[in-house]
Amino acid sequence: MSNEATLHSHHEVTHGAAAHDHGNGHDEHHHEDSFISKYVFSMDHKMIAKQFLITGIIWAIVGAGFSVLFRLQLAFPDSTFPFLESILGHWAKGGRITPEAYYALVTMHGTILVFFVLTAGLSGTFSNLLIPLQVGARDMASPFMNMLSYWFFFMASVVMTCSLFVQTGPASGGWTSYPPLSALGDASIGSKIGMDLWLTSMALFVVSQLLGGLNYISTILNMRTKGMSMTKLPLTIWAFFFTAVLGVLSFPVLLSGFILLLFDRHAGTSFYLSELFVAGKALSNEGGSAILYQHLFWFLGHPEVYIIILPAMGMVSEVLAINSRKPIFGYLAMIGSLFAIAILAFLVWAHHMFVTGLNPFLGAFFVLLTLLIAVPSAIKVFNWLTTIWKGSIRFTPGALFSIGFVSTFISGGLTGIWLGNSSIDIHLHDTYFVIAHFHIVMGVSAFFGMFAGIYHWFPKLYGRYLNGTLGYIHFWITLVGAYCIFWPMHYEGMAGMPRRYYDYSNWESFKQFAELNKFISIVVFIVFATQLLFVFNFFYSIFKGRKLTTTNPWDATTLEWTTPIHPGHGNWPGEIPEVHRWAYDYSKDGKDFIPQTVPLGPDETAH
């Protein structure tokens, strides 16, 4: 057997060398790439992943910075901060944020973090980086479309940035932009040109997501290397696959909703408008329904939360298995639960609409489906816990963020059981309880998955390590801080405190939360500063981090660690390796790990 194996590997090496010689011209051609074709209009999926990641990081600083500004207003509603006037100009006259500016900040914070950071930044980065590397492909199915996907996202970013600088200010109808507020330019100052720019930016963003999603799906289905059957794929790839399917099926619905909204704004149509008065004057619009927009928005909006959380789930599964030195528990159950989440995600959108006058019998149907989606989520949680159970865990920053993800996913997900119940939701809808629920389960958890991915795959991206000490500081302050920020909001919400209000000090019933609001805001400032520490760690480590000396720093089994430390465009210099086993052969047959490329022994069966 050993002789045979030696011969086999020798044959592979010589064959690979021949292939390398043959591909040399190809390699040289790529070394002569100009700066623009290598770093700007790159068609290499690894470079595009870096572009998505760095754009996402910049947007995350902006979006989180906005939350720092409006938390300042919520904590100290009667104080003035002269430095605000120098940042925001006439939006903060006399050092106090104006109500219009406050609503604009809340709107842009939600839009930026949900779409530009957690959708584009998370999926765009890791789907691009890992799909070709883990399935064994030279690149994406269409590298050109992949490049376009980033540049449409970049154009969306430019338009959204412009909306921050127009005189009437950015859109301020909430991140959901409900009509009639968003459909009537005279309704508020934030419904003027800022809203048009918002809609244009989001339309470009949808195009970017569709180009990316179609590419991810076709690469996974058509470009797997020899031996890589669907059941040998790492769970990361399954998660990216279902994410892309959700995006391709749901984003066009959002686009149609936005186009109809633009028609209502500029073409005199009445899709969402009916029998309205503005400043005492009756409008001629009749026959439309604002509820139609909610249906179109939430038909994307609910799959959207899974588009955000599924990539994080996939990466957490991978990082936990690698750092527990154990096979992932229940591989097929994990794929089945991803599939169930993908289907149920399309059947629960109206639970956002329990207070719209929805027929109670129809409401009951959505309550049932909403509670059902907890089942596949629970399967995943049990499987993660069983994967780390009795494992010899290595507490790398990536592993810690993965464990933190499981914690926030459980605690944030449990409150969804209350909100999914239509009768309780009537009291809790649009209160701080909702904010607490979705920020923990979707915002914080998705960020934890993203951080786990960045710490874990940074060596693959840049050939260097992130600083571990800064990573541990980042993790602990962020975990404790996230709970200190969002946990108390549940109590404010149960007391009926509504979201998006500018000043709560005028209400007797909410005055009791003044000190709590101060506490939350102070923690927000600390956590934001910690994220800046991470950003410093990230950019410093790209140039000065500890260099990688081995191609497989985490002793992982998957294909991306079989490439050189700095893979060129095409990933493998020789032939693409052949796959013989599944992605989770850890602690097997007396070996710590067996890579996917190692042939099965005579007495082994494929998993």
Element (H, E) at 541: helix 514-544
Give the pLDDT of residue 262: 96
CB 329 within 8 A of CB 386: yes
Assess contact for 562 and 579: CB atoms under 8 A: no
What is the residue extent of each domain of the chain?
43-354+361-593
The amino acid present at 229, given as its one-letter code, is S
| CA nearest to 324, candidates 383, 389, 380, 378 | 389
C-alpha separations of 555 from 43, 326, 510, 594 in Å? 29, 12, 54, 9
pLDDT tens sequence across 220-263: 999 999 999 999 999 999 999 999 999 999 999 999 999 999 99
Copy the structure tokens of residue 271.
């899709």
Q: Which residues pair with 498 in a beta bridge?
A: 431
575 within 8 A of 19, measured Cβ to Cβ: yes
The pLDDT value given to residue 35:
84
What's the Cα-to-Cα distance from 33 to each of 30, 39, 565, rounded to whole Å? 5, 9, 20
Q: What is the pLDDT of residue 589?
A: 86
Q: What is the pLDDT of residue 590?
A: 87
Angstrom distance (rounded) from CA 481 to CA 116 = 23
Please give the model's pTM, rounded to 2 decimal places. Answer: 0.92
Model pLDDT, residue 39: 85
Over residues 411-440, the pLDDT tens digits come to 999 999 999 999 999 999 999 999 999 999
Q: What is the pLDDT of residue 208?
A: 97
- How far apart CA 568 and CA 14 sit, in angstroms, is 20
The tokens of 231 are what? 């059941």
Quickly tell me which residue has 């928005």 as its tokens.
297
Predicted pLDDT at 32? 61
Candidates 3.20.20.210, 3.30.110.30, 3.40.50.720, 1.20.210.10; correct CATH number of 43-354+361-593? 1.20.210.10
Cα(425)–Cα(363) distance, integer angstroms: 11
- Kindly give the parts of the chain with pLDDT less than 70: 1-32, 607
Cα-Cα-Cα-Cα torsion 135, 139, 140, 142, nearest 10 degrees, comes to -150
The whole-angstrom separation of Cα 219 and Cα 224 is: 7
Question: What is the C-alpha separation between 347 and 413, in angstroms, rounded?
Answer: 18
